[in-house]
Chain A
Amino acid sequence: MKGDPVDGEARERQLDVARDLLDRLVVDRAGIVIGRVDDVELSQDDDGTLAVVALLIGPQVWGRRVGHRLGRWVEGIARQLRAGHDPVRVPVADVEALDPSIVLRNRVDDIDGALLAERWFRDNLIRRIPGGTSASE
């Protein structure tokens, strides 16, 4: 699968979505791991050229891509657990760099729906265990 412009500027770049984007780690500006690229959102021009519009992250998305019974099962559970939050969607304009991990321009707090599970476990379990809260808070 090939895609054309990877960011909003006129800079054109051929990339192999499977190799360069999918399943790569995505980190925010501060280096915090958001997740992996579980799928990409594509758009199609009138002449048929595909372009990557956004990166999609999350078990919901992963389940849909992987498919089969396992994928659909994970997708279903993830959708229920996320209760209304859309999958994490990162527009390509926010991508700063691609190698070796995908680095974003913004902070994870600005991304809608990111790290829901991580924060849930942090607040409801880890911070309730003595020693779970780091001094830097």
Chain B
Amino acid sequence: MRKILTVTFGILTAIGGFIDIGDLVTDALIGARFGLGLVWVTILAVIGIMTYAEMSARVATATHLPAFDLVRSRVGARLGLAATTGSFFATFLALIAELAGVALAFELLTSVSYLLFIPAVAALMFVLVWRIPFEIMERIYGVLGLALLAFVVAVWHLGPDWGDLARQVTHPPLPSGEGLPTYFFYAIVMLGAQMTPYEVIFFSSEAVEKKWTTADLSTARLNVFIGFPLGGLLAIAIQAVAAIVYFPLGIEVDHLSQTVMPVGLALGRVGLAVVILGVVAATFGATLETVMSSGYALGQYWGWTWGKTVERDEAARFNTLLLCLLVTAAAIGLTTINPITITIYAVFFGAVVLPFTYIPILIAANDRALMGEHVNGRLANGLGSVFLFVTLLASMAALPLLLATKAGL
């Protein structure tokens, strides 16, 4: 019975956990601009993240070592440093964005400026990291994140022309004034939003913290193989409501309020309130994951004692880092820098560093001496190589496209 609960919670958490501020912003922005013309990226991203999340969980359970521990010992100090700092920086940008995201969601509920919520949320975050056990937190925001399913319900209620939507998926529309470079720029942005580096860091570090063994691998796989596709469905729903409401009118999405408004249009006040609570839960969970992952990345590279399950004073450097990250992220958020802009840059930079996070995992998962019987099989290697290639391509094309399209203007 307990196992069923664990598995259920794991899946539920994975669904809402898939969505963070990056998704909420980019899915709506892209749905408004290209309709459902980039859904193929979501499908690709879901398969990619499933491949690497499973791989990193398998490595973590077989070796009891998390992702960035292996980065340094497999790839060496210099290349490991590049991978670590790249992932750290991308995750830190994401942290600032997620923190602002929680604040923005509270603003929508209370009309109090989001700037006032930033320090409050950061402080609450620290208290949670300091005092509350992992499991309880995860379950709470995991279940509350399901409120985001309001997006799926909203799609239904809006009663769209399904044929038209289907056509957008298979024959991506390029509205007048949009060029192919812009289309592919946003494809990369969406890839970065849905395949985040911190996902893999968090997942593998968590597996080690919870002391999972290979016996827990099936649980991890269920979480990944059921949870992530459902999360992808959520992401498509966010694109869809924007495609239904904004795309025909040529409306540009620049605010979180615009992301959620279609749910209000479809389901009324209650629907709107529910979905915003879902946003709070999802961004809250993501704030936690990004701060922990930033700490994990650095702590694991430098060989510190790290983790939530160790005593605070036994992981002093790690906890100090978490505190500093929260303070710094809050400070940056308070400079009134546009949260949407930070989000776009965070996911964009995430897309750039993604292959560097994945390469060490693929290398470690192929090391028979390390992995024993859990070494990568043909499927894992096949998919792993394909997606490494895809992310490398995206990473290389990212900067040129950014310049060519002036960041998608």
User: Which residue of B131, B303, B320, B370 contacts A125 across the interface (Cβ within 8 Å)?
Assistant: B320
Q: How many residues of B contact A (CB 8 A)?
A: 27
Main SS class of interface, B: helix
Complex CA–CA separation, A47 to B315 (angstroms): 45
In the complex where A118-B305, A126-B313 touch, is A22 in contact with B69 (Cβ < 8 A)?
Answer: no
Complex CA–CA separation, A18 to B75 (angstroms): 10
Spell out A's residues near B (CB within 8 Å): 18, 22-26, 32-36, 38, 57, 59, 62, 65-66, 100, 117-122, 125-127, 129, 131-134, 136-137
Spell out B's residues near A (CB within 8 Å): 63-65, 69, 72-73, 76-78, 80-81, 130-131, 302-305, 311-314, 316-317, 319-320, 323, 370
Q: Are the C-beta atoms of B314 and A25 separated by less than 8 Å?
A: no
9 smallest CB-CB distances across A and B, nearest first, come from A134-B311, A36-B303, A122-B316, A121-B316, A35-B303, A126-B316, A121-B320, A33-B305, A23-B72
Complex CA–CA separation, A134 to B81 (angstroms): 32
For the A-B complex, the count of residue pairs with Cβ-Cβ distances under 8 Å equals 75
Set of chain A residues within 8 Å of B314, measured between Cβ atoms: 32, 122, 134
Q: Are the C-beta atoms of A33 and B303 separated by less than 8 Å?
A: yes
Set of chain B residues within 8 Å of A137, measured between Cβ atoms: 313
Q: Are the C-beta atoms of B317 and A25 separated by less than 8 Å?
A: no
Complex CA–CA separation, A69 to B319 (angstroms): 28
Set of chain B residues within 8 Å of A33, measured between Cβ atoms: 303-305
Least Cβ distance of A45 to chain B in Å? 27
Least Cβ distance of A109 to chain B in Å? 14
Q: Are the C-beta atoms of A131 and B72 separated by less than 8 Å?
A: no
For A25, A34, A122, the residue with the greatest tally of chain B CB atoms inside 10 Å of its CB is A122
User: Which residue of A32, A38, A59, A125 contacts B305 across the interface (Cβ within 8 Å)?
Assistant: A32
Set of chain B residues within 8 Å of A66, measured between Cβ atoms: 77-78, 81
Nearest chain A residue, comparing its CB with the CB of B320: A121
Least Cβ distance of A111 to chain B in Å? 14
- Give me 13 other A-B pairs in contact (C-beta within 8 A), A122-B316, A132-B313, A134-B314 excluded: A26-B303, A32-B314, A35-B304, A57-B303, A62-B77, A100-B370, A118-B304, A121-B317, A122-B314, A125-B316, A126-B313, A132-B319, A134-B313
Q: Are the C-beta atoms of B78 and A25 separated by less than 8 Å?
A: no
